[in-house]
């Protein structure tokens, strides 16, 4: 199959370009249904004339339905989107890039979805869907699942279906909250996942920016100690990766700390630890929950981040995370490969 595609790419590249364009349109309709033509045009960055032509084709092929509310993908269309995913993956050479990142980041496994989340939020949903499928296949009875907050982690949980076949699963937040939107707080997402898995869950009612003395006092509370024990024995850890200065601002660390992080070369953040591009922790905040050094004890660590802007953050936090499984997108992956290749050349 791959050899045939390679030949087609050389002889009739326009056919594959059309294939990828129509796949992108179908995928966008699928995630935004019901969607109107003008909105679809804006989401895709295509002219309405081109979108109209492609919509007419997809309608004739019974891949989409058009109603007064907007367009949606048919059952047949959903099947086409699902089956084309792997083909598009091959066309873009993403398997080779995955292998490059696994070797050069020294992580366990990398999964890349087409596109760039910086340009299209649908891509982040696709990353979440891919990670959700991976987790679903690996769930076992008596698992303890710990997860952080954030919009990327929420995308994973949004895409996990209701599963009633596993017994005695426990879900816990991996760390305290940082304020802001309650929908993406770890406690909220943990409760949502527990509901989907018919599982038990415990919450961690602790802000993430307390003083050392306050944290030491709180950790002595029986209810907190119980949650921390569960976190320390997690079988599956799901976490997002943030850009250093952006996360520092979200955590309310203050202008001086943000400037200090910039001076120290911090580019990535995870679990309250701030990393430079070499993967070294250069600053950390007092926190209750999972610690960076505990990650090696977790059987399955799921990291999610998308978009070209997250490339340095991914390198910083994932470098040498030997048991980490990274889910990202083409935009971030290409930029990571560029940075790592340039580093190797300069050395």
Domains of the chain as residue ranges with CATH: 2-91 (1.10.10.10), 94-346 (3.40.50.1360)
Band of the pLDDT at 143, cuts 50, 70, 90? very high
The pLDDT of residue 212 is above 80: no
Mean pLDDT of the chain: 90
Identify the pLDDT of residue 62. Answer: 97
User: Is the CB of residue 32 less than 8 Å from the CB of residue 24?
Assistant: no
Contact 268, 274 (CB under 8 A): yes
pLDDT at 333: 98
Length of the chain (residues) = 347
Say what the pTM is. 0.90
pLDDT in tens, 153-202: 999 999 999 999 899 999 999 987 666 678 899 999 999 999 999 999 99
Please answer whether residues 200 and 172 qualify as being in contact, where contact means their C-beta atoms are separated by less than 8 angstroms. Answer: no
Out of 15-19, 235-239, 255-259, least confident range: 15-19
Give CA separation, 184 vs 41, 232, 302, 342, in Å: 29, 22, 17, 36
Torsion sign, CA atoms 124, 125, 126, 132: positive
Residue ranges of alpha helices (H) inside the chain are: 2-11, 13-32, 37-44, 48-60, 75-91, 94-105, 121-138, 151-158, 186-197, 212-218, 222-232, 244-250, 255-264, 311-318, 330-346
Tokens of 6: 């390679």
292-343 pLDDT, tens digit each: 778 888 999 999 999 999 999 999 999 878 889 999 999 999 999 999 998 8
Cis-peptide into 34, omega within 30 deg: yes
Q: List beta partners, residue 96.
A: none
Q: Are 244 and 235 in contact (CB under 8 A)?
A: no
Q: What angle do CA 73, 78, 79 make, to 5 degrees?
A: 150
Mean pLDDT within 278-301 = 86
Per DSSP, the residues of 237-295 read EEEE-EEHHHHHHHTT--HHHHHHHHHHTEEEEETTEEEETTS-EEEE---SB--GGGG
Contacts for 75 with CB less than 8 Å, ≥ 6 apart: none
Please identify which residue in the block is written with the tokens 């961690």.
204
Sign of torsion over alpha carbons 17, 23, 27, 33: positive
State the average pLDDT over residues 222-231.
Answer: 90
State CA 51 to chain mean position distance: 29
């Amino acid at each position: 199959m791959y050899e045939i595609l390679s030949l087609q790419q050389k002889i009739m590249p326009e056919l594959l370009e059309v294939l990828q364009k129509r796949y992108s349109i179908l995928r966008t309709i699928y995630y935004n249904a019901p969607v109107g033509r003008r909105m679809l045009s804006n989401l895709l960055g295509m002219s309405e004339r081109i979108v109209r032509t492609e919509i007419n084709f997809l309608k004739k092929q019974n891949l989409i339905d058009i109603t007064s509310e907007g367009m949606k993908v048919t059952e047949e269309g959903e099947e086409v989107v699902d089956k084309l995913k792997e083909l598009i993956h091959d066309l873009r050479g993403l398997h080779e890039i995955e292998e490059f990142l696994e070797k050069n980041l020294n992580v366990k496994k990398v999964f890349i979805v087409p596109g760039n989340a910086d340009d299209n939020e649908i891509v982040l949903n696709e990353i979440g869907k891919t990670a959700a499928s991976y987790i679903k296949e690996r769930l076992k009875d008596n698992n303890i699942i710990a997860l952080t907050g954030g919009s990327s982690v929420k995308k994973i949980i949004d895409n996990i279906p209701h599963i009633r076949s596993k017994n005695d699963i426990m879900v816990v937040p991996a760390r305290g909250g940082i304020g802001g939107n309650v929908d993406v707080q770890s406690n909220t997402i943990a409760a949502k996942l527990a509901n989907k898995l018919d599982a038990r869950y415990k919450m961690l009612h602790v802000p993430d920016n307390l003083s050392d003395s306050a944290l030491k006092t709180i950790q002595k509370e029986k209810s907190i100690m119980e949650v921390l024990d569960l976190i320390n024995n997690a079988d599956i850890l799901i976490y997002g990766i943030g850009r250093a200065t952006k996360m520092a601002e979200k955590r309310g660390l203050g202008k001086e700390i943000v400037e200090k992080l910039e001076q120290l070369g911090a580019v990535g953040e995870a679990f309250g630890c701030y990393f430079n591009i070499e993967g070294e922790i250069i600053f950390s905040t007092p926190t209750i929950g999972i610690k960076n050094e505990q990650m090696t004890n977790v059987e399955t660590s799921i990291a999610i981040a998308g978009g070209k802007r997250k490339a340095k953050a991914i390198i910083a936090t994932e470098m040498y995370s030997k048991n980490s499984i990274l889910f990202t997108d083409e935009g971030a992956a290409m930029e990571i490969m560029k940075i790592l290749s340039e580093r190797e050349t300069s050395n």
